[in-house]
Amino acid sequence: MRRIELSIVVEGPRDAVFEYVLDPKKLAEWVAQDGQGVVTGEDNLALGSTYTVSTGESSKRTFEYEVIGLEQPSFIAVKTEGSILTYSSRLTFEEQDGQTAVKEVIEMDDPSGIFKLLGGWLMGRVEKTHQERLDRLAGVVANPG
């Protein structure tokens, strides 16, 4: 099992930031690499709900997620299973002087088969991608519209 820890401070109160993250209509704005894409699934993210994010033109990838933990407005945890990687991600939200500290902990199974040779590279890609997502989240929450 591999573990990555990331964090960012987002302008705005915890409840508003958490509500933004839970809105399926806004997921593509910060999850997709180019801020575009399509989210399909349930209208509200709740424990056990599933959703798919298909990224926009630049990368054309699809990720399927399941919400495996949720406590408003403290945390949301999701799991994704793919042919190469399986991992879970837990986002926690803490009030911090009128802003929100968002922390993400990602736990990944070690890749198997031939992909085992790419473990370090894959880990780096996941870390980079998720930090970029947090950065986009901070940007879209601070500058909606």
In order along its 145 residues, the chain shows pLDDT tens digits of 889 999 999 999 999 999 999 888 888 788 876 666 677 777 778 899 888 877 665 556 777 889 999 999 999 999 987 667 788 999 999 999 999 999 999 998 877 777 777 778 888 888 998 999 999 999 988 876 6
Q: How many CB atoms lie within 10 A of CB 68?
A: 14
Domain count, the chain: 1
CATH number of the domain bearing residue 137 = 3.30.530.20
CA angle 111, 132, 97 (to 5 degrees): 120
Tokens of 76: 């949301």
Contact 25/39 with Cβ under 8 angstroms?
yes
pTM of the predicted structure, to 2 decimals: 0.86
* DSSP classification of residue 61: -
108: containing domain: 2-142
Nearest CA among 110, 126, 104 for reference residue 10: 104
